Amino acid sequence: MASVLNNLFGGSKPSGNAAPAKAADADFADFSQVPEPEAAPVSPAPNTFGGAPAAQTLRPYTKWYRLHERYTWSDFQAEGIILCLIAVLLLVHLFGARLNRSKAKKWIRAHAAPLTAEFALVGFAGVPVAVADKKGDELVQALADFNARQGDDLLKEKSLFEFATYATGRANVAFLDVKLTLLKRFNPLSVLVDSVMAFFFDSASENHECVEATLYPFDGKEALTVPGLPGAAELRSKDSKSTFDSFVWAIVHKERMKQVRDDRYDVSLTATKDHPKLPNWLTVMTESAEITDALLTPELIQAAELAGDLLEYLIISDQPIEKPKTINETTPRKRIFLKYRLPSDDNYANLLPLFKYFLRLTDRLVQAAHFRPEVLRKVKAVRDNAVREIQRADEESKAEERAQERERLKKAKRDQELNALDAKAQRKYLEKEREKEMKRSMKKQTIRG
């Protein structure tokens, strides 16, 4: 009892020769041997009111804080592969885009001379302000100098594989549109997919580089296209001299003949005939032999022979490319189309004669494309047949709409009468309707038998 009171309220310590009491249980023997942790040094807060700053405790340098010891280059293999692929794709993209721009510039440099020689204004820059006050020969010379200063800017980059140019300001021609389509060298995977699709499917277009030029003749409509100028009223009587007869005529590469006929409605109106004066890889599509005799000149034959397999077609047309669905779409719109492939070596010496002839073809049409009434009646008959087919289809469509409207009104009247009856009368009405339908079907079977 005395020891308990001494422990609770304190008391005299036991003598040294006394046996020490067991202060702890045997289960806590391991913890009793661990030395007590030392207190962590406390760094005093820096004195912001003056005096020397207190020394800070620095963290020890360990492997955890040293990145070059924690990681090696082998840990970044996936990232390295991804970065290499991105770099390769970027280089291919830049190289392909640069190569396409280079090919387009070579084309415009080769064709700039005939374009600027035949047209007063080439490119999309518009009429410069500096030539607004010039007239006559001074205006022509100023525009020629302006076209020469543009250089490669005569061609506009619409995308990385499409380039275009525009020209206007020539007798018998309203304007000219030219489009270059190049391979997608900046995306080799797309080129490969297109090539595979064209190999296995006829409907897929083949991958090739080409030029498509479309020339729009005035056809006697200068007054509607060119704004009126002072002193030009007396010249209006001469506008009709730029007209020529309506027809469809073409020279087409035989390998492209089926595709052109399937893709273009205007060419489908013609008949295909080989001509002895043309090379064996070209054929004529015409509505009359007289038209061929008037248009197939020795100059054109020579230019086509020089172009070789690169020429795809030269088409003179007054009909739409897509099959017309309304009568307004059958209104003649005269245009001249030229399409040829780009040479792989960028040598356009053999193609320039054909391109020059194409630019001057309207002069030939205005001069020679006036045919006998018998030829024009034959050509007009084909267009009249197309108009009658459109009218017939339109009448059938309207008749079908009227029949559907009558059926709708009849059904609405029947539903109204049926809803006005009670259940018994409705049942009789439906039975009577069913009997009529059975009699009608039996009558049809009897007539067929």
Q: Where are the alpha helices (DSSP H) in 13-70?
A: 29-33, 67-70
Predicted confidence at residue 35, as pLDDT, reads 57
Beta strands in 287-347 (DSSP E): 311-317, 335-341
Nearest alpha-carbon partner for 169 in 111, 117, 120: 120
The answer on 259 and 202 residing in a single domain is: yes
**Same structural domain, 189 and 307:** yes
Tell me how far apart the terminal alpha carbons of the chain are, to the nearest angstrom. Answer: 132
Q: Are residues 135 and 210 in the same domain?
A: yes
Residue 54 falls inside a structural domain? no
Contacts 24+ apart (CB under 8 A), 398-403: none
Final residue belonging to a domain, choices 333, 352, 376: 376
Same domain, 368 and 412: no
Please count the structural domains in the chain: 2
- Are 337 and 255 found together in one domain? yes
Decide if 10 is inside a domain: no
Please give the structure tokens belonging to residue 116. Answer: 């600027």
Task: Say if residue 159 is in the same domain as residue 260.
Answer: yes
- The pLDDT tens digits of the residues spanning 49-60 come to 444 455 555 666
Q: Are residues 400 and 422 in the same domain?
A: yes
Write the burial class of residue 371 (CB in 10 Å: 0-12 exposed, 13-18 middle, 19+ buried): middle
Q: Are residues 302 and 367 in the same domain?
A: yes
Position 278 scores a pLDDT of 92
Q: List the chain residues with pLDDT less than 50.
A: 1, 4, 8, 12-24, 28, 31, 40, 42, 45, 47-52, 228-237
221 and 304 both lie in a single domain = yes
- In sequence order, the β-bridge partners of residue 181 are 162, 210
- Domain for residue 36, yes or no? no
Range of the domain at 436: 379-448
The SS3 of residue 136 is helix
The domain boundary, picked from 357, 376, 395, lies at: 376
What is the reported pTM? 0.74
Tokens representing 189? 């995977």
Would residue 194 count as lying in a domain?
A: yes
Domain stop point among 376, 406, 430: 376
272 burial type by CB count under 10 A (0-12 exposed, 13-18 middle, 19+ buried): middle
Instruction: Tell me how far apart the alpha carbons of residues 62 and 364 are, in angstroms, rounded to a whole number.
Output: 91
Of the CA atoms within 13 Å of residue 160, those in its CB half-sphere come to: 12
Q: Are residues 360 and 387 in the same domain?
A: no
105 and 174 share one domain: yes
Residue 234, domain member (yes or no): yes
Q: Within this chain, do residues 217 and 270 fall inside the same structural domain, yes or no?
A: yes
Answer yes or no: is 278 within a domain: yes
Euclidean distance between CA atoms 356 and 340, whole angstroms: 13
Residue 188 included in any domain: yes
Is 319 contained in some domain? Answer: yes
